[in-house]
Amino acid sequence: MLLIAGLGNPGPKYSLNRHNIGFMALDALADTYTDSRWRKKYQGLISEGIVEGKKILLLKPHTFMNKSGNSISEVVKFYKMSPNQVIIFHDEIDLAPGKIRVKTGGGHAGHNGLRSITNHIGSDFVRIRIGVGHPGSKDQVHNYVLGNFSKSDQEGWLQDLLAGVRHGFPDLIDNNTTEFLNKINLTLQSKPKASMHRISSEKPPVTKQKKGEGIFSKLAKYFG
C-alpha cells in the first residue's frame, strides 16, 4: 500500500493558492484513479483506489499546512507504514513554474508542511516538488504562496502539468520516476506556453470547454 498525500489548506479561500498545488494534484489523480468521492478520515479527506496492482490511499490533510504531519502520521501509524511508502505532492518556490522534481529524503528547506511531516514520521518520504516560482524576496514569500495562480497560469502550464501528473502516475507507482517526469514534460511541451516563465505579457490561447469540464471547474465541487 502507498499513501499519496497532497499539501494545502482547506476551504474555498485557499483553493487556488500556489500553496495548494498539492491538493490540486490529488484532485487530478482522484478523477482518474479513484471514484473521485472524498470522505472524512484521519483529520483529512481520503479517496482509495488500485493502480498497477497496488492499493493507494489519496489524502488531503485538513489540519492546515503547518500541521500536515498530524493527519499523515495517523495513516502511517494505522497501516504500520514506513516513510518510503509515503509520497508527498507539494509546492516548491525554488523551482520555476511548471518545473517538477522527485526527491527522497532531505531537509524541509523552510517548508512548514514538510517540517511537520518530518517531525512526525522522519524525513525518508518521497517528495514530488512542483515549482511555483519565487517572488524574488524572502519577505514576500508568505503572501506569494498564499496568493492565487493567475488566470493565464490556470489555463496554461498548470492545467497541462496536472494532466501530465495524471498521465504519468502509474509510472510513479512503479518507481519509474524517469518515465513519470518524461510524460509530464511531454505534456508541457505539446503546446507553447508564453506564460511559463513570464517572458511574455500575451495570454496563451484558451480552449473552450463545456460547463463542468476541466481541472479547475472540478475543483468547485470540492471547495464550493
pLDDT tens, residue by residue, 89-131:
999 999 999 999 999 999 998 999 999 999 999 999 999 999 9
Buried b / exposed e along 132-156 (16+ C-beta atoms within 10 A): bbbbeeeeeeeebbeeebeebbbbb
Question: What local confidence, expressed as pLDDT, does residue 192 receive?
Answer: 56
Question: What local confidence, expressed as pLDDT, does residue 105 receive?
Answer: 96
- What are 16-75's pLDDT values in tens digits? 999 999 999 999 999 999 988 899 999 999 999 999 999 999 999 999 999 999 999 999
Pairing of strands 54-61, 39-41: unpaired
CA–CA separation, 132 and 46 (whole Å): 25
Question: What local confidence, expressed as pLDDT, does residue 190 receive?
Answer: 82
pTM over 0.75: yes
- What are 163-220's pLDDT values in tens digits? 999 999 999 999 999 999 999 999 998 865 444 443 232 333 443 444 444 555 544 4
Rounded to 5 degrees, φ, ψ at 214 are 95, 155
Percent of the chain with pLDDT over 90: 81
Question: What local confidence, expressed as pLDDT, does residue 124 receive?
Answer: 97
CA–CA separation, 34 and 221 (whole Å): 16
Confidence class of residue 84 from pLDDT cuts 50, 70 and 90? Answer: very high
| Catalytic pick among 19, 62, 90, 111 | 19
Question: What local confidence, expressed as pLDDT, does residue 216 receive?
Answer: 53
Is residue 19 annotated as a catalytic residue, yes or no?
A: yes
- What are 117-128's pLDDT values in tens digits? 999 999 999 999
